[in-house]
Every structure is written in C-alpha cells, then in structure tokens.
Amino acid sequence: MNKGKKRRIAILTGGGDCPGINAVIRAITKKAILEHDMEIIGIKDGYEGLIDNQYRTLNFDDVSGILTLGGTILGTSKKANPFQYAVNEGDGDKLKFEDLSAVVLKNIEALKIECLVCIGGDGTLWISNRFHKLGVPIIGVPKTIDNDIKGTDITFGFDSAVNIATEAIDRIHTTAQSHHRIMLVEVMGHKAGWIALHSGIAGGGDVILIPEIPYHSEKIVDYVLQRRKTGRRFSIIAVAEGSKPVGGEVVIKRIVKDSSDPIRLGGISFVLGEELGKMSGLETRSVVLGHLQRGGTPTPFDRVLATRLGSKAVDLIMEKNYGKMVSVRGDHLEDFPLEEVATGPRLIPADYELIKAAREIGVCFGD
C-alpha cells in the first residue's frame, strides 16, 4: 500500500440472506472509519462480485439506518463458488464448472485491500479458508439462521429465525385445536435441527423431528393416538427440512444445476403428513415456512450480537490475526481458525441438554 493512502478493507456477504447481516456491515464500517480512518469496499453479490469485479465504496452515511434492515445491502449469492463456478458451454444450455479462483485473486490484488471480511455460513467460510491458504488475508463472521457453524456457540440470524418459527407454531395451535388435526410445521435445517428443536420447544410442539435423530413413523403415530386417548385431540409436529426416517432419505425439492451445491431440500412435512394420515386415520395439514425464516427485521438479540461480531472483526484486522472467524464462547468473543470451521457443520449432540429436557416433559422425537 502506498504511503499516505488510507488503509482499505473489503466486506463480502455470501450464502443465504439472514437477519442481522446489515448490522454487521454497519458495525465494521463505522468502527473502521471512526477508530482507524479506513476506507471500506463492499463486494457486490458475494463471491460473484469478486469474479465480475463488482464493488462499491461504503461510507459512514451508507450504513446509517440499516441496523434494523433485513437482507444485505451488498447482495449475495448461494451459487458463486469460484473454485467450481458454473459457465455455459458454447451456445447451448450445457453447463460446465471451472476454477476461477485465479480471477478472484487477481481482482483482490487490484483492490489493494488489507483484509477481506467474509460474512457467511459454512459454505462461504469454507471458500474463504481456501483463499486464505492461497495468501488472502481473511476474517470470517459466522452468519446463518441454521446455527450450525463449527467453532461458535451461536450465529447471528438464528434467534430471529427461531422467533419467526415459534410465532408460526403458536398460531398453528389454535387451528389444530379447533379442527382436531395433526399439524406439521416445516422449518429450515439441512443437516442440523437447531431451529426445529428451539422453536418446537418454545412453541410447545408435541413432536420434534431433526436430522440428527432419524424417526420411525410408527412411533409418531403411536404417540399421537395415545394423546387422543387422554383427551388431547390434536398434535403439533415441528420438523426440520433435513429430517428423514430410519433407513430412509431426505426429501429433495429440486436440483439447481448451476450450483456447486445443487440439492435443495423441502417437502418432508407433506410426505410425512400424508403417511401419518394414512396410518392413523387422522386429518393432517402441513405448513412450510421456507424463506419467511430468513426475512424481515432482526431481533434485538441478533442486532446486538451482530454489532459485537462486527466490532470484534475489526479488532482481529488490527491485530493482523487473519485466517480466523469471530467466535462466540459463552459471554465472550474469541477467534477460531477458519481451517477448523471448514471441517463440517456443528450438529446437535445426542446428549444435548435441551433434548434431554424435552424428553423429560414428554416431547417425542420419533425414535
């Protein structure tokens, strides 16, 4: 960097959108400007922006008023993996995947940034770790409603998603009671069932199904019928999209051909609801919350957490403590190696205290 020029950092948001991203962008930008007189570059649409060299300057006024705003002012992409990027082959519709990491490295070098802050989930941080190994100074910030990033106790966006899912379950209760139905509420959670577990308990769900515990349909039916014998003529089932029966497979909604991670889950509640209806003779209804869980204003908890994470990210930059993710450990913020984050998702342990507590108050997990 030339002497006399401002130090410059860049911010990137990748993967699915999530309440609280803008609060992180705001915290990083304001602190970097006020405390360290830095210049901030916002990369547009995740790693897509580093492939196409699309970015914008972020000043103090650009991030004022975005604390409560959902989504991300920078845009994002779930498909832009520079190491396996989909391109059209010839004039046809046939796709092929190419390694465009060299393009990204060239564009990063041209930006003359001191550090790239990557706000994302396990996929984004996995890509970030690969670029760090190639010499890019990177700091990660854990973002996902699924709460499944290794190395942190919680991710911002999770509390907001749980609030939305819990409110949905609360509202489902009245119609379930009125019509004496089995009501299934499907929430996000591909490999980890944190949202289903927390919202299921908070909403008073009778059955909670998560990817970590494969279920037996017969046991769910037995549980529901036993409830009816005791005068409870309805049942609420909170089910994560990645749940599956013992020996069975997940329900795939569609395949996204131009994505390096093409499988999109969804619909387990309809498949299971139909099965439970046939087996029990009871009426079932299913509700899929889908992207409702990602949208809207972040909760106060997520706004505070996002602000803390953004502030800590700037501290790590000043320490030149690169190749790390800001991590929540109890009440404290620490750093955690991106290399370890990239080893896989954080699943719910079989002996997790909340599962134990739920079982002790009569919740069925289908096992």
Question: Fold match between 8-156+298-341 and 161-294?
Answer: yes
Cβ atoms < 10 Å from Cβ of 288: 19
Token output for 138: 């990177």
Mean pLDDT of 334-356: 94
Token output for 112: 């003359």
Cβ contacts of 356 within 8 Å, gap of 6 or more: none
Comparing CA positions, the residue from 131, 136, 235 lying closest to residue 179 is 235
Question: What pLDDT was estimated at residue 177?
Answer: 81
Over 208-264, what HEC string results? EECCCCCECHHHHHHHHHHHHHCCCCCEEEEEECCCCECCCCCCEEEECCCCCCCEE
Task: Give the CATH fold of the 161-294 domain.
Answer: Rossmann fold (3.40.50)
For the segment 209-268, what is each residue's pLDDT rounded down to a tens digit?
Answer: 999 999 999 999 999 999 998 988 889 999 999 999 999 888 877 666 766 666 667 789
DSSP states along 307-325: HHHHHHHHHHHHTT--SEE
SS3 assignment, position 186 = strand
CB burial of residue 320 (10 Å; 0-12, 13-18, 19+) = exposed
Write down the domain spans for the chain: 8-156+298-341, 161-294
Taking the CA atoms of the chain, what radius of gyration do you get in angstroms? Answer: 22
Query: Which residues are known catalytic residues?
Result: 146
Residue 74 scores a pLDDT above 90: yes
Residue 342 scores a pLDDT above 60: yes
92: left (phi over 0), alpha (psi -120 to 50) or beta: beta
Q: What is the reported pTM?
A: 0.92
Residue 112 scores a pLDDT above 80: yes
CATH class in words for 8-156+298-341: alpha beta
Token output for 147: 């709460």
For the segment 1-21, what is each residue's pLDDT rounded down to a tens digit?
Answer: 445 678 999 999 998 899 999
Specify whether the CB–CB gap between 363 and 205 falls below 8 A. Answer: yes
Cβ atoms < 10 Å from Cβ of 252: 13
> From CA 116, how far away is CA 42, in angstroms rounded?
10
Strand partners, 18: none
